[in-house]
Amino acid sequence: MNREPLSRGMRLARLGLVANAALALAKGLAGVIGHSYALVADAAESAADIGGSIVVWSGLRVSARSPDYDHPYGHGKAEPLAAAAVGLMLCVAALGILVKSINATVSPHGAPAPFTLGVLVLVIAVKVALARTVLRAADDAGSRALAADAWHHRADVITSAAAFVGISAALIGGDGWEWCDGAAGSVASIIVFLNGLHILRPALHELMDGAPDIELLERVFVAARSVSGVRLIEHLKARKLGTSYLVDLHAQADPVMSLDEAHMLSGRIKTAIRAAVPSVQDVLVHMEPFHGGHGGR
């Protein structure tokens, strides 16, 4: 397994940790000094991002460990587990922000200071760049945890953009429009909650050994069936383990084939599958005698 994309992801997770800490501090101070509840709520979301980045980095670090006596299949489950934790953290943070934002809308404070808009523009620019970079790394590594971290950055972009709109409306509207600041926090919290669910659902699917995309199974089937001597492929299954896949299948061949020949054929099947689908870490081939059929899965 190529670990370079995973190593790059771990570096990006550490970078995200530093960036989230700096941005949370900047937004928190600006929100308190500038009397903006939307910005304070946004700072709280960034503070949750710090925990999320720590979880993602830890999950990737554990996932990269080689198999050992206690974990003969490796430590890949740490990866979706980290993603699920990030999704839960987003949902919890969103609910907390929503409660406080509703209170700020019902009982609005004074108008926020104009300089808070400049802080938000800087935050949005940094977070957009981080989200794009981390998402590319997630695609390269096939990492659920890195994808969750990218969505975490995107959620911060959304909350910051909502805060920008709310503060702008409060400043432009003047007296009587202060409630827009709290309303922006409410809208942002709902979007963040939905993002948390978006992260959580596929992570739980992977933790429950859910089936991968049909496209991957099709590629595995074609590669196995193309091996000379294979007459039928059936009971094809696969599950994700971190950034890799484990495949099980039954391969039928000539019933008069010797045990040694069957063993060699199973090795060729494994080689063909791993060459065609590099993300496959291991293949378990059960050899059976062929007694007629149509070659289906």
**Domains of the chain as residue ranges with CATH:** 4-207 (1.20.1510.10), 214-289 (3.30.70.1350)
What is the C-alpha end-to-end distance of the chain, expressed in Å? 27
Mean pLDDT of 174-201: 80
**pLDDT for the residue numbered 109:** 64
**pLDDT for the residue numbered 215:** 93
**pLDDT for the residue numbered 6:** 61
**pLDDT for the residue numbered 4:** 62
246 confidence band (pLDDT: 50, 70, 90): very high
- At 238, give phi and psi (nearest 5°): -150, 150
**pLDDT for the residue numbered 297:** 52
Mean pLDDT of 137-141: 77
132 confidence band (pLDDT: 50, 70, 90): confident
Q: State yes or no: pLDDT of 166 exceeds 60.
A: yes
Residue 267, amino acid: G
Mean pLDDT of 133-142: 79
**pLDDT for the residue numbered 146:** 76
Report which DSSP code applies to 67.
P
For residue 295, what are the CA distances in angstroms to 234, 235, 247, 290? 8, 11, 18, 10
Q: State yes or no: pLDDT of 277 exceeds 80.
A: yes
User: Which of 82, 84, 81, 66 lies closest to 13 in space, CA to CA?
Assistant: 82
Q: State yes or no: pLDDT of 122 exceeds 80.
A: yes
**pLDDT for the residue numbered 133:** 85
**pLDDT for the residue numbered 48:** 67
293 confidence band (pLDDT: 50, 70, 90): low
To which H or E segment does residue 134 belong? helix 115-141
Encode pLDDT of 74-83 as tens digits: 888 887 888 8
